[in-house]
Structure 1
């Protein structure tokens, strides 16, 4: 009985996962803030755009250690995107030409020796 219930749960979980993936864009990714500081704004715009789209954070702050999921419409075809983050003190960092069709996670880190924010890609 336990084996049958486990298999049923596994199948149900798989169907739920596939259902959610069917509505996800191939550009979906997460941002993990490991900078040591809070982020106040996150902007993601197509690489060929001359301006930033609206702030996608949707809340006051992304605290150090927190992760934020970024979702795209499944009909979105563009893979190359630029991203800008702004710290709660106003400092910012920008990355251009991110291929979000191949990136699932960006981990942001700040180097206090150089004053540079970097993004490691998964």
Structure 2
């Protein structure tokens, strides 16, 4: 897979209870057609992506993973980066408001070469 252009579509369901501290947990769904080997999340003001949250695992096409944050985490805005099995990677510079998002679905359009993320 070639390095891709980024696209972001957000469908955010707002509720009065959405922005509670420690409520940044979300499910990452891989519908790209490719295996994802590494996943990183970082706050927009971070100088580093930190550690691969997949650890020793991978996220196969069609699979999903629940990403859990420490209960003491208060930041709602998070950026996302993934690295695919072939070494290509994608970074979303626009931050996701994980206090209002339950699922982030990644998709790849072979025709346009665009990898997108839909937050719901």
Aligned match of 2:27 in 2, 24, 30?
A: 30
Which deviations, in whole Å up to 9, do the C-alpha atoms of 1:52-88 show, x marking residues without a partner?
1100012332100100110011111101111100000
What stretches of structure 1 move > 4 A for 4+ residues in a row? Answer: none
Q: How many residues align?
A: 99
TM-score normalised over the length of structure 1: 0.77
- Structure whose CA Rg is larger: 1
Q: Would the aligned equivalents of 1:25 and 1:71 in 2 still touch at CA under 8 Å?
A: no
Q: Would the aligned equivalents of 2:96 and 2:119 in 1 still touch at CA under 8 Å?
A: no
CA distance in 1, matches of 2:88, 2:70: 30
CA distance in 2, matches of 1:110, 1:94: 13
Counterpart in the other structure of 1:45 = 42
Task: Judging by fraction of residues, say which structure has more helix.
Answer: 1
Q: Secondary structure at the match of 1:109?
A: strand
Task: Judging by fraction of residues, say which structure has more strand.
Answer: 2
CA RMSD after TM alignment: 1.3
Aligned match of 1:110 in 97, 108, 111?
A: 108
Larger relative contact order (CA 8 Å, sep ≥ 6): 2
Counterpart in the other structure of 2:51 = 54
